[in-house]
Amino acid sequence: MKTIILLILISFVTIIAEDDYEIKSLRVYQAEDETSFPISTFGSKISISFDIKSDDTPTWEILFRLCDKNWEPYENNILIDEMYNTERNLWFDVLPFRGDRARYHYKGSFPNDNVKFPFSGKWRFFIQDAFDSDIIYGEGKFYVVNEVAINLKIRLTKERLEGTNSDPAVFGEVFNIKVSADLTDTLFADRIQEVEIIENKKIEFPITIDKSYDNEYRYYEIDDVNSYSFFVKDIQPGGAYRQVNLMSRTKHSPPKTQAHFDGIETSNKFKPSGRDFFGGSKLKDYKDEYSEYMDVEFFLRPPQGYYQNIFIVGAFTDWDFYPEFMMQEKDGIFSATVELKRGIYDYQYVVVDVINNYIENINWLELEGNSWYTKREYYIFLFYEDDEIGGYDKIIAYKKIRSN
């Protein structure tokens, strides 16, 4: 289970704001589908968009860096490729809505004439000052797949979690995923590193199986000389995401509004699954004068006598945990206020333990339920230690699947 310190959070999108500038609604997605997973496949575009709170037009650039499988940028000059790793002279549009919460908007699509992604793997971008690269205002992560060296065979089945008696019983419902790969003669079996599976948009919580795993839930098998199978037998599908819809101007208007007007939210532990954006969001077009920001109040009444640490986590936190999204309790009601741009967002309430400023024992199911009928997207990557150009962690196979 991932442990996170509340004082230093690593997230899908990091904001490092100075007094004069603040980035808001920073998102990265595939092509023009703003609810999609951030991946460039076979030369397809990824889009980066954000708003800026500022009194003047920023002078910024965006730097792109290839990373290893742990998201650490390479220092190899060939992999850095300074000729095609930076988008300079960013063009900003002035936002039409009234108010002082944001003034400018940026959107760019990559690769383009200035930026190339020649290597399949993990990539990060850094929004930085054009005159001082040490000043970083925001960053994000995405995947690049330029080629598929081998075909992955995927099998997803509905099973019961082995060796446990779940309470309630529905928490024992899991997806088993088998990933099989037949290597070609040009690949070396000892350089296969791991299979990484991302559920929906949870990039910070990957499901990994490498050759060091050897337990009843995650392991690999050698099927033949050049054939491997990786197994995951403990994926709890969870429940469908909740949604907050702020599109209506009659219901929701600045400066403050409630997420829902049909009563205080309660536990979804035993409620059926519904529809969602697979963890994404859809914002009002920035050219619309009503694409404005507001403070949105969320209220939750958990089961009686339930006093634990609850975070609100969703598309607006990039499915990671921030101290300001820890809910406050008063008279049995938990609440949180989140600044959001007009749009529709997926989210959930997540129970955690906070021990010495660390988040531990993240429980995605306690307030949201678990069901085989929950629809999930899984992005499956096979990593290989390539020895070309000084060596790097290369994605040599990729497949997207959906449950149900």
pLDDT the model gives residue 14: 44
Q: Please report where in the chains the tokens 């499988």 appear, as a residue.
A: 69
**Residue 352 belongs to a domain with what CATH number?**
2.60.40
- Residues 383, 268 share a domain: no
Tokens standing for 280?
């994404």
pLDDT the model gives residue 162: 83
Answer yes or no: is 167 within a domain. yes
pLDDT the model gives residue 19: 57
Q: Report residues of the chain scoring pLDDT below 70.
A: 1-19, 273
**Exposure pattern of 291-316 as b/e (b: 16+ CB <10 Å)?**
bbbbebebbbebeeebeebbbbbbbb
pLDDT the model gives residue 275: 86
Answer yes or no: is 15 within a domain. yes
- Residues 190, 290 share a domain: no
- Residues 223, 135 share a domain: no
Distance CA 47, CA 130 (A): 20
Cα angle: 131, vertex 137, 138; to 5 degrees: 130
- Residues 380, 232 share a domain: yes
- Residues 119, 42 share a domain: yes
Q: Strand 293-301 relative to strand 333-341: parallel, antiparallel, unpaired?
A: antiparallel
pLDDT the model gives residue 10: 32
- Residues 233, 249 share a domain: no
- Residues 383, 318 share a domain: no
Handedness of CA 32, 37, 42, 45 (dihedral sign): positive
Answer yes or no: is 229 within a domain. yes
pLDDT the model gives residue 274: 78
DSSP states of 6-65: SSS---SEEE--BTTBEEEEEEEEETT-TTS-SEEETT--EEEEEEEE-SS---EEEEEE
| CA dist list (Å): 110 to 27, 115, 392 | 14, 7, 22
Handedness of CA 268, 271, 276, 278 (dihedral sign): positive
- Residues 302, 200 share a domain: no
| CA dist list (Å): 245 to 233, 256, 276, 317, 347 | 35, 14, 11, 16, 11
Tokens standing for 298?
């969320």
- Residues 347, 262 share a domain: yes
Structural domain count of the chain: 3
Answer yes or no: is 369 within a domain. no
Q: Strand 293-301 relative to strand 256-258: parallel, antiparallel, unpaired?
A: parallel
Answer yes or no: is 58 within a domain. yes
Tokens standing for 295?
């403070």
Among 122, 145, 168, residue at a domain's last position: 145
- Residues 350, 281 share a domain: yes
Full domain range(s) for residue 385: 152-238+374-402
